[in-house]
Amino acid sequence: MNVRRTIRWLVFGILMLSLSAGAFAQIGFGISVSFGPPPIPTYEQPQCPGEGYFWTPGYWAWSDDDGYYWVPGTWVMAPVGMYWTPGYWGWQEGAFLWHDGYWGPQVGFYGGINYGFGYTGEGYYGGEWRGRSFYYNREVVNVRNTRITNVYSRTVIVNNNHVAFNGGQGGVSARPTAEQERFSRERHTEAIAAQRQQAREASHNRALFARENQGRPSIAATARAGDFKSHVVAAREAGGTYRAPNVSPREARVKPGENRKPEANRTGEDRQAARNQQQQAQERRNEQKSNERERAQEQKADQQSERQQAEQQKNEQRNAERERAQQQKSSQQRERQQAEQQKNEQRQRAQEQKASQQRDRQQAEQQRNEQKNAQRQRAQEQKANQQRERQQAQQQKNEQRQEAQLQKQQRQEQRQSTPRAEKPQPQHEQKPQREQKPNKPDKGPGR
């Protein structure tokens, strides 16, 4: 971005040096009309397209065929270090005379007209040059929702006067200061090609003529010069009551001095002022002839500058497209890398999850095996205990049988050793009671 800005300023510097002395002219005086223009309409300012753009306010211009028409305000690329002084209509020598606008190192006198958006009637408060960079006053101009960083805040008091001409009946009464008078005699630069294109486009649009829109144009401002289709702003309302003229546009055209009062009806100061105005008008007409020649040379220089600007714009567009392509390529590469990294992370997480699940299964299997082994061991121990109990029971049974046999044998031996004479009466010997066998456990049906 800084490289592009540096190139742009360098081209403007070369362009300014390449202009010949004939490309500069003093303040020009153009058309004179018998009645003044309609009030300045009320409208919103379009958003600034980018850094380096300067606001040129809308104004009422004149056509001999259809009268006053509105030239929409617009943003243009400003010459470095230059401010735009708007043109204005001023009452002079019995007519309203148009004073051309110009570019210069400071803002001059523009009739005290309140054009808005920093042009309050005297000076300009919408921004300022700081070195080779232009800074915008965001309290006045529309730099919202943009990438412009060269901004500052300064409150400006705005008057609500919408009168579009200086002097005469109902006009603004402002007069130039001594410094503005001195500045008006210096050399300045006329409107650039983009401004002239804006005026030409406006002159071909019927909807912009006052007799059609009643002082409320449908296109009051544009974001870019010459573009009357996209990003245009309509007037919110007319600046005042529109009064249709009672003469045709060609009848309204007058030459300076035609509507002057008779010399006899003037005071000495009026006559002296009239003579001074005549002299100034003659000087201006002479200057105008000289300026016409200079304008022809300037037009040639402007055409060359337009070609250089067009070439510069093409180069900037190519560089911007290359830069965007590189940025897009880098962005796509980063996205691919990020996607690949995400895939790798997902694979790693999946592998870790799989390993964790496998470990869980192994642990579960190990626990089941341990439980089975413990159950088998308990079953074997229980079986062994039961077998030992059976053996002990059988052993007790055998011992009881042996004891019974031994007792029986002893009784037989006693009977044999006893003599028959002395044989006592037989007594019923009570046989030893046989020990009752323990009940076997019920093994259940089918066993």
Q: pLDDT by residue (tens digit) across 147-206?
A: 899 999 999 988 888 999 999 999 999 999 999 988 888 888 899 999 999 999 999 999
Q: Who's near 397: CB < 8 A, 6+ residues apart?
A: 437
- Residue 207 carries which DSSP code? G
Ranges 95-104, 305-314, 319-328, 438-447: which has the least confidence: 438-447
For position 93, what pLDDT does the model report?
80
| Residue 438 C-beta-side C-alpha neighbours within 13 Å | 10
Q: Is residue 85 part of a domain?
A: yes
Q: Is residue 137 part of a domain?
A: yes
For position 271, what pLDDT does the model report?
54
Q: Is residue 48 part of a domain?
A: yes
Q: Is residue 219 part of a domain?
A: yes
For position 294, what pLDDT does the model report?
73
Average of per-residue pLDDT across 380-398: 93
Total tally of structural domains belonging to the chain: 1
Between the alpha carbon of residue 296 and those of residues 108, 187, 200, 332, the distances in Å are 24, 17, 17, 52
For position 281, what pLDDT does the model report?
58
Q: Is residue 428 part of a domain?
A: no
Query: Is pLDDT of 260 > 50?
Result: no
- Give the span between the Cα atoms of 208 and 219, in whole angstroms: 7
pTM, entire model = 0.55
For position 415, what pLDDT does the model report?
86
Q: Which pLDDT band holds residue 441 (cuts at 50, 70, 90)?
A: low
Average of per-residue pLDDT across 17-23: 34
- Residue 166 carries which DSSP code? E
Q: Which pLDDT band holds residue 27 (cuts at 50, 70, 90)?
A: very low
Q: What pLDDT digit, counting tens, does each position of 342-365 carry?
A: 999 999 999 999 999 999 999 999
Domain range for 67 is 25-260
Average of per-residue pLDDT across 91-111: 92
Mean pLDDT, the chain, integer: 82
Residue in the structure block whose two tokens are 């690949």: 340
Whether 222 and 43 have beta carbons less than 8 Å apart is answered as: no
Average of per-residue pLDDT across 66-78: 95
Q: Is residue 147 part of a domain?
A: yes
Average of per-residue pLDDT across 68-91: 95
3-class DSSP assignment, residue 139: coil
More confident residue, 298 or 22: 298
Q: Who's near 345: CB < 8 A, 6+ residues apart?
A: none
Question: What number of H helices and E strands is found in the chain?
Answer: 6, 17
Average of per-residue pLDDT across 250-264: 57
Q: Is residue 151 part of a domain?
A: yes
For position 230, what pLDDT does the model report?
87
For position 265, what pLDDT does the model report?
36
Which runs of E-coded beta strand occur in 34-79? 53-56, 59-63, 67-71, 73-77
Q: Is residue 36 part of a domain?
A: yes
Helical spans, DSSP H, in 206-267: 210-213, 249-252
For position 435, what pLDDT does the model report?
54
Average of per-residue pLDDT across 68-88: 95
